[in-house]
Amino acid sequence: MDSRTIGGGQLGRMLVEAANRLNIKTIILDAPFSPAKQINSLQHIDGSFSDPSAIKTLSSKCHILTTEIEHVDTQILGEIEKEGKVEVHPSSETIKIIQDKFTQKEHLTSKGLPTTQSIPVQRSRHEILTAGEQLGYPCMLKSRTLSYDGRGNFVVSSAESVTEIIKTLPDQPLYVEKWAEFEKELAVVVIRTTQGNIISYPTVETIHQSNICHLVYAPARVMESVQAKARIIAEKAISTFNGAGVFGVEMFLMKSGDILINEIAPRPHNSGHYTIEACNTSQYEAHIRAITGLPLPKLCTAMKTTSIMLNILGGETPDEHHQICRKALETPGATVHLYGKLESRKSRKMGHVTIVGSSMSECDYRLANILTSNADSMT
């Protein structure tokens, strides 16, 4: 069986790891030597996942096309679907809706799903101020497209701050989002099979630092009724989209107890890295099985153990992040994943650690050991 992946970052790499075990061949389209290309020796394609001709070349070599990133050219994916020779998962229509965060919000609202109130705006002081008046301050000005790790998000603290913010805005369509006064951030990875069956993983809790996911607690440290509610919302949301694969659903648990969808990713998700060590079947294998029509028993998403996932970010020097990896290697129950990125940059995701333990307090204890700097541990 052959499948092909657009995008060769860490998610693509973990998809290839899962596919390799099932003898499913994968060809990657991305820059030379990108993380996913390093772990098999097939005829990968060097190019951009937003370049239609590169995507077309990729499609000529495979039976199934999938993606590890939503920022892809969906028009060419639609044309490939119409030709009918290659399956595209999830569908180009699904990726198109999701890749524009405002369109995604309109879609969710039209299906009766709870999400943050949002208003599209031009890059105009007047329009941003009008939206700010309606939604209140602070509010979040967001790029509709091409955002990740919060790079397209701008906190608008007051009407006065708009003049300065406008100078720094990217040349992309924008919208303003009501500020979410959340208690916690939750996430659920949901599988959609080729038959449209929906299976969800347990609800996890994500902790962000400077807009980047820092820790994932699995399961989320909230009441079971809240975990169940988040899963129901996430499953309902994914049932409104076409195509197979796994999806990440990011949510805000509000102080009121309401749950709002923040955003959806049409691909494996950072909050689901923990599934490799802690669930019966990882989100990566689930994605491969879903798009190739292989069996996915209901209990494939069941959690075998409590866990905490820690993202490893690049530091000030090229190998600063190795220190934390060494600490993790010294810690029982911790598994280190390094992504093979050719260059470390500050705040770039270089790897992650999943810590398992017989209880969350044991995981927390192990995490504290990893986060203690060498200097601290010597005193």
Residues near ligand ATP, by CB under 6 A: 116, 140, 142, 147-153, 177, 179-180, 185, 208, 211, 250, 262-263
Burial 114-149 (b: 16+ CB within 10 A, else e): ebbbbbbbeeeeebbbebbeebeeebbbbbbbbbeb
Q: Which partner in ligand ATP, Mg ion, none is near 73 (CB below 5 to 8 A by kind)?
A: none
- 3 vs 206 by CB, closer to ligand ATP: 206
User: CB of 118 within 8 A of CB of 191?
Assistant: no
Query: Which of Mg ion, ligand ATP, none sits in contact with 235, Cβ below 5 to 8 A by type?
Result: none
Q: How many other C-beta atoms can be found within 10 angstroms of the C-beta atom of residue 218?
A: 30
Nearer to ligand ATP, 36 or 249 (CB): 249
The alpha carbon torsion through 130, 135, 136, 137 (nearest 10 deg) reads -90
Q: How far is the CB of 212 from ligand ATP (least distance, A)?
A: 7
Q: CB under 5 to 8 A by kind: which of ligand ATP, Mg ion, none does 149 bind?
A: ligand ATP
Q: How far is the CB of 68 from ligand ATP (least distance, A)?
A: 13
177 vs 263, beta carbon nearer Mg ion: 263
Rounded least distance, CB 34 to Mg ion, Å:
20
State the binding partner of 220 from Mg ion, ligand ATP, none, CB within 5 to 8 A by kind: none
Q: Closer CB to Mg ion, residue 87 or residue 250?
A: 250
Q: Distance between CA atoms of 337 and 14, rounded to whole angstroms?
A: 10
| Both structure tokens of 283 | 């989100």
Nearest to 113 by CA among 238, 257, 285, 278: 238
Residue list 168-227, contact with Mg ion (CB under 5 A): none
CA distance 327 to 204: 24
Compute the radius of gyration of the chain from its Cα atoms.
Answer: 21
Of 323-342, binders to Mg ion (CB under 5 A) are none
How far apart CA 162 and CA 216 sit, in angstroms, is 33
Is 286 exposed, middle or buried, given 0-12, 13-18 or 19+ CB atoms closer than 10 A?
A: buried
> Mask 246-285, x = binds Mg ion (CB under 5 A)?
----x------------x----------------------
Please identify, using beta-carbon distances, which residue of 107 and 142 lies nearer to ligand ATP: 142
Peptide bond into 219 cis (omega under 30): yes
In the complex with ligand ATP, the residue whose CB is nearer, 142 or 327, is: 142
Q: How far is the CB of 368 from ligand ATP (least distance, A)?
A: 23
Question: Which stretches of the chain bind Mg ion, using CB under 5 A?
Answer: 250, 263
